[in-house]
């Protein structure tokens, strides 16, 4: 599986003046996972009287690589390596990602190497492998900068995954990082319609969608939508995102798709949020188009009103501007 890096190139370091040349070389060696030579140069740098510089991060990475390096010999250790990163360095990265370019570069290098190990022996249908169907493989590829490949694999893996919301969420993340924001929003909407509880909000890339999931009341207040269970329940995120204009209502392409949305709306075991969103999608198609596929718009809207009179009123007030 050949992978193409879609992310921006690394910046060149400019600290080549003595005595920082040893420090700069040590950092470059760490990016190449040569921790033994890097550690030697870091100690020499300290011996040059540069002890005032905090090298805690660099030595932390040295210790991390000492433990991780033997595990790279087998693809069976991928999840162990992933767990080690999450435990030892991910939170350090999150706290300082706007300050430490070096850690960002090392993180990407680490996950590029992990992605290379992951891709070995996967053949022509990697989406069938559990590591992709369950999500971690996609997160590895995204962190490594392989956005196009991650989006492609996710589109196939979501069809056979037990957690389609998580997989479509990762597809959306990859599309967002490729600057395909409209496509990403469609994928995020699909994730929230299918399985909102499994969406990986901790790693979600679109800040507006993440805010919607973490603090939906912020958008509801702006849109004058009354308080209700949708303020605290993620299952309503697709509805509130549609009403807030973050997502656009998709068009119904054929009678088969229309029947699926109708089933979601009227089925007794449907989640209220998913059912209401299905009603929004059908209702926004208009009376004439629904008549062509033998769906009564009045029954659709009665069901929506029964699910939530407050949201139905908000939807009818905004319906003209919601269709995408």
Query: Does 127 lie in the same domain as 31?
Result: yes
Residue 230, domain member (yes or no): yes
Query: Which one, of 90, 81, 72, lies nearest residue 131 by Cα?
Result: 81
209 part of a folded domain? no
Q: Are residues 192 and 275 in the same domain?
A: no
Q: Are residues 196 and 312 in the same domain?
A: no
Low-confidence ranges of the chain (pLDDT < 50): 7-16, 324
> By the 8 A CB rule, do 7 and 176 touch?
no
SS3 state of residue 40: helix
Considering the domain architecture, whether residues 137 and 25 belong to the same structural domain is answered as yes
Is residue 213 assigned to a domain? no
DSSP-assigned letter for residue 267? -
In a domain, 161, yes or no: yes
8 Å CB contact between 77 and 69? no
- Determine, yes or no, domain membership for 7: no
CATH code: domain of residue 89: 1.25.40
Per-residue tokens: 115: 């992605």
Buried b (16+ CB within 10 A) or exposed e, 116-140: bbbbeebeeebbebebbbebbbbbb
Question: Are 228 and 304 a contacting pair, CB within 8 Å?
Answer: no
Domain enclosing residue 186, as ranges: 20-200
List the one residue out of 266, 289, 173, 192 whose CA is nearest residue 234.
192
Burial 197-210 (b: 16+ CB within 10 A, else e): ebbbeebbbbeebb
Looking at the structure, do residues 170 and 49 belong to the same domain, yes or no? yes
Q: How many domains does the chain have?
A: 2
Residue 223 shares a structural domain with residue 186? no
Tell me the angle at which helices 164-177 and 136-143 cross, rounded to the nearest 10 degrees: 10
Summarize pLDDT for 168-219 with one digit per residue, the tens.
999 999 999 999 999 999 999 999 999 999 999 999 999 999 998 888 777 7
Structure tokens at 308: 């939530």
- Say if 268 falls within a structural domain: yes
Is residue 15 in a domain?
no
DSSP code per residue over 41-106:
HHHHHHHTT-TTS--HHHHHHHHHHHHHGGGGG-GGGHHHHHHHHIIIIIHHHHHHTTT-HHHHHH
DSSP line for 215-228: -HHHHHHHTTPPPS
| 159 and 301 together in one domain | no
Taking only Cα atoms into account, the Rg of the chain, rounded to an integer number of angstroms, comes to: 24
Evaluate whether residue 13 is within a structural domain: no
Q: Rounded distance, CA 121 to CA 35, Å? A: 28
Given 147, 167, 200, which residue is the final one in a domain?
Answer: 200
3-class secondary-structure state, position 159: coil
Q: What is the pLDDT of residue 286?
A: 84
DSSP readout, 89-152? IIHHHHHHTTT-HHHHHHHHHHHHHHHHHHHTT-TT-GGGSHHHHSSHHHHHHHHTT-HHHHHH
Tracing tokens 């702006």 back to the chain, one arrives at: 222
Q: Which residue in the block uniquely carries the two structure tokens 């290098």?
A: 109
Q: Which residues of 64-76 are buried (b: 16+ CB within 10 A; e: fewer)?
A: bbeebeeebeeee
């Amino acid at each position: 599986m050949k992978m193409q890096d879609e992310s921006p190139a690394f910046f060149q370091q400019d600290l080549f003046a003595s005595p920082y040349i040893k420090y700069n070389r040590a950092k470059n060696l760490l990016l190449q996972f040569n921790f033994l030579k890097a550690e030697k140069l870091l100690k020499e740098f300290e011996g040059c009287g540069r002890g005032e510089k905090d090298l805690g991060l660099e030595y932390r990475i040295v210790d991390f690589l000492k433990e991780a390096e033997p595990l790279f010999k087998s693809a069976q250790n991928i999840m162990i390596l992933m767990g080690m990163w999450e435990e030892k360095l991910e939170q350090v990265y999150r706290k300082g990602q706007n300050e430490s370019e070096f850690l960002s570069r090392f993180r990407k290098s680490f996950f590029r190497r992990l992605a290379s190990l992951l891709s070995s022996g996967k053949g022509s249908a990697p989406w069938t492998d559990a590591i992709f169907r369950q999500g971690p493989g996609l997160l590895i590829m995204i962190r490594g900068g392989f956005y196009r490949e991650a989006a492609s694999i996710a589109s196939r893996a979501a069809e056979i995954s037990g957690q389609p919301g998580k997989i479509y969420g990762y597809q959306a993340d990859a599309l967002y990082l490729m600057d395909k924001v409209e496509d990403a929003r469609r994928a995020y909407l699909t994730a929230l319609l299918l399985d909102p509880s499994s969406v990986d909000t901790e790693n979600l890339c679109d800040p507006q969608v993440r805010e919607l999931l973490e603090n939906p009341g912020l958008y509801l207040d702006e849109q004058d939508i009354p308080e209700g269970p949708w303020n605290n329940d993620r299952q309503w995120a697709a509805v509130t995102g549609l009403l807030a204009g973050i997502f656009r209502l998709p068009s119904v392409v054929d009678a088969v798709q229309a029947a699926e949305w109708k089933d979601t709306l009227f089925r007794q075991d449907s989640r209220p949020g998913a059912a209401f969103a299905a009603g929004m999608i059908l209702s926004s198609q208009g009376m004439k188009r629904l008549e062509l596929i033998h769906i009564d718009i009045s029954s659709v809207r009665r069901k929506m009103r029964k699910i939530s009179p407050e949201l139905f009123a908000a939807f009818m007030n905004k319906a003209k501007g919601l269709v995408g």
